[in-house]
Every structure is written in structure tokens, then in C-alpha cells.
Amino acid sequence: MSTIEIPYVSTPRPDTGLINAKLGIWLFLASEVMLFGGLFSAYVLLRIGAETWPDGASILNVPLATLNTVVLITSSITMVMAWASLVRKDINKYKLYNYVTLACGLTFLVVKYFEYSAKFHHGLFPSESTFLAIYFTLTGLHVLHVIGGMLTLAYLHFIGSKMWKTDPVRYTGRVECAGLFWHLVDLVWIFLFPTLYLM
């Protein structure tokens, strides 16, 4: 049985209007939206059905979450600047902006570590309440996505950057697709922050 290879194209395909990689990442992002959408829906239904519900602001650390929101929004800006630098054929500026994006991701994880540590220190575990179970599930899954995004960006920054010399258009496309995933990670947090911390 023969296999059909889908070739990489650097110009949009006439049937989809997208390059293959971008179509693939949009389909993947759609599945991620469904995953988080299902979890958000479960949260809403559980909250509506509960007789009492704790105030998130009284349990969670709103100032740290606000800091993390600013950090992730900043990382989205630097991600766009990194990709735009490649479009302008400036690999050095790309690396600078990508370093900042990675530093923002690392800052987010460090802040989240201190936030989780404080919860555990005060005996606030997922088994304590439905709210805490949802909080740790949603934010924990988000943390895994941040780590996955950072690993992808780090790969493209170091090992994957060899492609810049041989096929800069394809490399730029890969960075763009990684950036789309990173933006989804930021967008999910922008919904998580008010839903869990402020409402």
C-alpha cells in the first residue's frame, strides 16, 4: 500500500487559501478550543448547580494572577515581534524577541509555582472542594500548554534555527504556527483569569 505525501508549500493552496502547516495548526487549535470550552462549560454548570460557591478572590491570589496576565500579554506582543523580525529577514531581532517570549513564559511558570506552593502550604488541595478541583484542573492544564509552547519555541530558537539558512520561508512559517499556538495559550489565560479569580 502506498502512502500519499502532503508536500510543504510556501504559497497558499488554491483549495484552502492556506499553506498546509497553517491549516494543520488551525485544526489543532480548534480541538484545543473544544477542550477548554468543554471544561469552561463544566465549570459554569457546576457553579450554577451549587447551593453555595466560594469567592475566588478570597481563596486565590489576585495580584499574582494579575502579574501573570500582564506577563502573558507581553509575551504575545514579543511573539508577534519575533515572527515579524523573520518576515523582515532579521534573525538576530527574532532571537532577541524570542528570548523575551521564553523569559515571559518562564516568569509565568515561576509565579504559578509560588501560587500553587502557597495553596498547598495552607492545605488547599483539589480534593478540598469542587472549586479547587476545577481551579487546579484548568490552571494545571494551562500550565502544561505553557510548557509545551515554551519547548516548541526553544526548539525553533536553538536546534530548529538551522533551517533559517536552508529554507527561511519554511522556517518563518514554522515560527508563525508556533506563535499561533502561543496566542491560544495567552487567550485561554485571559478567559481563566476573570472566570476563576474575579467572579
With a CB cutoff of 8 Å and minimum separation 6, the contacts of 63 are none
Count of beta carbons in the 10 Å neighbourhood of residue 8: 13
Sequence length of the chain is 199
Closest alpha carbon to 180 in 134, 135, 149, 140: 149
pLDDT tens per residue across span 105-154:
999 999 999 999 999 999 999 999 999 999 999 999 999 999 999 999 99
Q: Return the pLDDT at 28.
A: 96
Q: Using one digit for the tens of pLDDT, what is the confidence trace for 63-112?
A: 999 999 999 999 999 999 999 999 999 999 999 999 999 999 999 999 99
Cell of 102: 521564553
pLDDT at 126: 93
How far is Cα 10 from Cα 90, in angstroms, rounded to an integer? Answer: 19
* C-alpha distances in Å from residue 16, one per residue of 3, 6, 31, 32, 136: 22, 14, 19, 21, 39
